[in-house]
Amino acid sequence: MPFQNTLAFAKKLDESDVLKEFRSKFYIPIINGKECIYLTGNSLGLQPKSTQDYVVDELEDWASFGVEGHFHARNPWFSYHEIFPPLVTKIVGALPEEVVVMNQLTVNLHLLLASFYRPTKERYKIICEAKAFPSDQYAFESQVRFHGFDPATAIVEAAPREGEHSLRTEDILSLIKQHGNETALVIFGAVNYYSGQVFDMEAICKASHDAGAYCGFDLAHAAGNIELHMHDWNVDFACWCSYKYLNSGPGGVAGAFIHQKHIADPTLPRLAGWWGYEKATRFNMDKGFKPIPTAEGWQLSNAPVLSMAAHHASLDVFEDAGVENLFAKGQQLSNYLMFILDEINNNTKEKMIEVITPRAEKEKGCQVSMLMLQKGKEVFDALKQNGVLADWREPNVIRVAPVPLYNSFEDVYRFGEIVKNILER
């Protein structure tokens, strides 16, 4: 169906949307006395209305049972994390034994690097994308230094070609081949936080293994946004947060994936904690770590139940919505947004916006990054004054992400009208 830049067309798309009822399940922030156009779910997802009940249930059980809540709460805390694998597997494309919900994103990244970045004198390099999220960059730098190497020579960054904003897959694969004999690990953000580009994870993983290196991904901007197949793509490990597209609250509990071929290997180095110890004898408090032969073996501490309760509430919404529906609508929303932005550019005297997110559906998710060619910060500030919450990234990019659970096609249309009016002024 050809897109149209009209309110009637946007409303027609919303009427036929199989997920249209889900918007009412979320709290929408209020600006200027009315619901805002919230387009920053790629930074912090909105709160499901059910979250309060899930968290209050645990507070009530804490009040009622005290320590006995570990075994007698409605959802016993001792095994609370075991709720998540059946819900998470559909989101990241994994087997239940390959995933665990624990800690925060960068904590999990360091734990996984401890297992999968094992440099030698000959193989010590990490290959990643240029402009990786800063926390990832700092993790790589500190891990390299921890092992006695210099980040300047040990970290190899894949950058777009001159004048381009996206990385070409062939350039990534060529870089892996070029440095293959010296490479210990290849790790990318599945979706680049700045440009919104989705990388060809399957191809990158195969090239990494062909070069003799491990391969991992940071799924912070991918989990809940795009279709993922961590197991089938033979990815060694991955980690993600839950507060962006997964709507589980600021600083919410994170997740990790370790491929089936690694999870039962007790010789794989790791930083151990007692909650990763085999369950049958955990409370014997014996010396000598015996890991659970699943991704749970990477756990350090017992479950942060209040944070997990918020995560549980959100994942139940995902279960009701169906991930296939979410991924399909997310693509349609960003396609429509790109169409609207093109319409704006075509009707202004000079081009003001360059969309730097790739157009191909396999290379994007919900996020669309707008490179502002003029007066970017002024436009961004004016958006909030007009009831739009978007996201600014230096030096001149506005990131917007219409997400399928609570954004509508009317949101996208109205955003376009606001941008057009700002630019005309």
Q: What is the pLDDT of residues 79-131, one digit of tens each?
A: 999 999 999 999 999 999 999 999 999 999 999 999 999 999 999 999 999 99
Least trusted range by pLDDT, from 247-261, 344-358, 383-397: 344-358
Cα(298)–Cα(81) distance, integer angstroms: 13
Q: In this structure, what token pair is assigned to residue 196?
A: 């919104």
pLDDT in tens, 51-72: 999 999 999 999 999 999 999 9
Cα angle, residue 310 at apex, residues 104 and 72 outer, rounded to 5°: 105
User: Which residue ranges make up each domain of the chain?
Assistant: 7-47+323-424, 54-319
Written in H, E and C, the secondary structure of the chain is CCCCCCHHHHHHHHHCCCCHHHHHHECCCEECCEECEECECCCCCCCECCHHHHHHHHHHHHHHHHHHHHHHCCCCHHHHHHHCHHHHHHHHCCCHHHEEECCCHHHHHHHHHHHHCCCCCCCCEEEEECCCCHHHHHHHHHHHHHCCCCHHHHEEEECCCCCCCCCCHHHHHHHHHHHHHHEEEEEEECECCCCCCECCHHHHHHHHHHCCCEEEEECCCCCCCCCCCCCCCCCCEEEECCCCCCCCCCCCCCEEEECHHHHCCCCCCCCCCHHHECHHHHHHCCCCCCECCCHHHHCCCCCCHHHHHHHHHHHHHHHHHCHHHHHHHHHHHHHHHHHHHHHHHHCCCCCCEEECCCCCHHHCCCCEEEEECCCHHHHHHHHHHCCEECEEECCCEEEEECCCCCCCHHHHHHHHHHHHHHHHC
Confidence tier at 1 by pLDDT (50, 70, 90)? confident
Q: Is 281 exposed, middle or buried (0-12, 13-18, 19+ CB in 10 A)?
A: exposed
Q: Which CATH fold would you assign to the domain 7-47+323-424?
A: Aspartate Aminotransferase, domain 1 (3.90.1150)
**End-to-end alpha carbon distance in the chain:** 32
Which CATH fold topology does 54-319 show? Aspartate Aminotransferase; domain 2 (3.40.640)
Please state the pTM of the whole predicted model: 0.96
pLDDT (tens digit per residue) in 132-184: 999 999 999 999 999 999 999 999 999 999 999 999 999 999 999 999 999 99
Topology agreement, domain 7-47+323-424 and domain 54-319? no
pLDDT digits (tens, 9 = 90+) for 216-245: 999 999 999 999 999 999 999 999 999 999
Q: Tell me how far apart the alpha carbons of residues 61 and 74 are, in angstroms, rounded to a whole number.
A: 7
Bridge partners of 291, per DSSP, are 277
Task: Return the number of other C-beta atoms located less than 10 Å from residue 420's C-beta.
Answer: 17
